[in-house]
């Protein structure tokens, strides 16, 4: 038997060693002198929205988007291959500097000043995986001036054509997603703005978790317009593409509520939750996810997602009961052979789609030899009564950065000013 004194000595020695390691790591961090970021056209944020050019001069990109006037030697197919030239290795050497991460990663101060958060180990269902500093009712305070300006210009109509502007940004190939979808962050994320042309409705606009990469926003804008074209008859005037969580303005971990773990992904602007497409009246509000599943309408929606010319879809997560319904209605459809294997079962996805995209346009799976079975997700925490109706938790008024108070809205209309 080991004596208590011996055990206490071992514990003391371990504590000393751990303390010494922490001291050395802190000293090493303080000795690092971040390099200045080199200037490059891709790091600029365009503010001249009305005159966004359709081809960026000097960029030899193989990307070609639908509706664009590209050189004759480039493919005009929606799934033309994309050469992402704006990568980390080109602009930042081995990776982004610490100054860059400190500016853009909202979790940088809470994860030991590392650019990428420490991978989360699996925890119990009721334990939040995010740091307590990330627990917020709204993430609107993390928006940059450029993000606010873009959203205001789209809402006011100053942006003549959202898709043309997004297409220009996709062609630039700017790196926006860093680290992985489970522990990363988002650089110069863009907000999806509901308009009369895209048929989009935000599930919880007051939370400001509707920011994604340019490829993500282009996909949602394009699919929303497809919904408007497919259901243009007056009896379908209420059909909407219901968009749930994407990412916070700068990405990072999104905590859950009432002790739930929060999202396992949604950190880089490349994951989006979409409500099921409903083409007939439903008793609940259209801003809530629900389990009413129309396999015909949602198979059509799935095909639009996979065929969109702005973002390759890596995988779409859905409950297996709904996948069986899709397979039944898609029997004989050649598209099922191409897209069906990228629709994967993940538990607690009985009331919404979870779509994950790559960096830009491309074939489903985002690689020539895609293996969707390698894509996993742990999204078991956002389903249930604690999160099904975020509007119930919406504050009556929301403060803006200028001190003005506005009434919270549950639809795509603009907030109503409150006189003070």
* Gap between the Cα atoms of 327 and 143, Å rounded: 41
pTM (2 d.p.):
0.69
pLDDT at 388: 42
pLDDT at 367: 78
* Gap between the Cα atoms of 292 and 278, Å rounded: 8
* Gap between the Cα atoms of 30 and 43, Å rounded: 27
CATH, domain range 98-407 = 3.30.1380.10
* Gap between the Cα atoms of 372 and 334, Å rounded: 19
Residue spans per domain, the chain? 98-407
pLDDT at 369: 61
Q: Convert the pLDDT of each residue in 288-299 to its tens digit.
A: 788 789 999 999
CB 322 within 8 A of CB 293: yes
CB 326 within 8 A of CB 302: yes
Question: 64: which DSSP letter?
Answer: -
pLDDT at 347: 81
pLDDT at 202: 94
pLDDT at 330: 95
Strand 185-186 vs strand 177-178: parallel, antiparallel, or unpaired? antiparallel
What distance separates the 2 farthest-apart alpha carbons in the chain? 83
Q: Convert the pLDDT of each residue in 255-281 to its tens digit.
A: 866 545 667 889 999 999 999 998 876
pLDDT at 102: 93
pLDDT at 91: 38
pLDDT at 112: 86
Q: How far is CA 236 from CA 157, 187, 228, 289, 359, in A?
A: 25, 37, 9, 19, 33
**In a 3-state reduction of DSSP, which class is residue 37?**
coil
pLDDT at 393: 42
CB 378 within 8 A of CB 122: yes
Task: Give the residue ranges of the chain where pLDDT is below 70.
Answer: 1-2, 19-95, 119-128, 256-262, 281-286, 368-420
pLDDT at 371: 59
């Amino acid at each position: 038997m080991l004596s208590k004194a011996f055990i206490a000595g071992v514990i003391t020695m371990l504590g000393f060693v751990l303390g010494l390691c922490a001291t050395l790591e802190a000293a090493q961090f303080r000795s690092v002198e971040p390099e200045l970021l080199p200037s490059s056209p891709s790091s600029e944020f365009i503010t001249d929205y009305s005159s966004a050019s359709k081809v960026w001069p000097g960029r030899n990109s193989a990307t070609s988007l639908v509706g664009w006037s590209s050189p004759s030697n480039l493919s005009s197919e929606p799934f033309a291959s994309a050469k992402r030239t704006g990568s980390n290795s080109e602009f930042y050497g081995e990776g982004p500097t610490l100054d860059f991460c400190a500016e853009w990663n909202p979790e940088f101060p809470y994860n030991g000043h590392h650019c990428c958060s420490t991978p989360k180990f699996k925890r119990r269902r009721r334990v939040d995986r995010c740091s307590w500093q990330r627990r917020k009712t709204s993430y609107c305070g993390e928006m940059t001036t450029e993000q606010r300006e873009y959203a205001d210009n789209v809402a006011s109509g100053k942006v003549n054509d959202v898709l043309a502007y997004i297409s220009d940004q996709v062609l630039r190939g700017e790196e926006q997603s860093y680290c992985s979808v489970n522990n990363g962050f988002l650089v110069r994320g863009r907000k999806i703005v509901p308009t009369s042309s895209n048929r989009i409705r935000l599930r919880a606009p007051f939370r400001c978790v509707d920011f994604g990469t340019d490829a993500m926003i282009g996909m949602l804008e394009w699919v929303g317009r497809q919904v408007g074209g497919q259901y243009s008859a007056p009896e379908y005037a209420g059909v909407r593409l219901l968009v749930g969580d994407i990412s916070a303005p700068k990405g990072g971990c999104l905590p859950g509520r009432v002790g739930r773990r929060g999202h396992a992904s949604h950190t880089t602007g490349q994951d989006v939750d979409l409500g099921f497409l409903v083409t007939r009246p439903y008793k609940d509000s259209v801003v809530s996810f629900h389990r009413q599943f129309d396999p015909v309408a949602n198979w059509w929606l799935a095909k639009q997602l996979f065929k969109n010319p702005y973002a390759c879809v890596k995988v779409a997560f859905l409950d297996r009961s709904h996948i069986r319904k899709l397979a039944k209605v898609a029997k004989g459809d050649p598209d099922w052979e191409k897209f069906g294997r990228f629709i994967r079962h993940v538990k607690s996805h009985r009331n919404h789609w979870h779509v994950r995209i790559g960096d830009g346009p491309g074939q489903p799976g985002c690689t020539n030899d895609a293996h969707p079975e390698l894509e996993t997700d742990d999204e078991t925490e956002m389903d249930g009564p604690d999160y099904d109706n975020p509007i119930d938790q919406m504050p009556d008024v929301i403060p803006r950065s200028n001190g003005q108070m506005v009434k919270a809205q549950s639809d795509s209309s603009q907030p109503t000013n409150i006189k003070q």
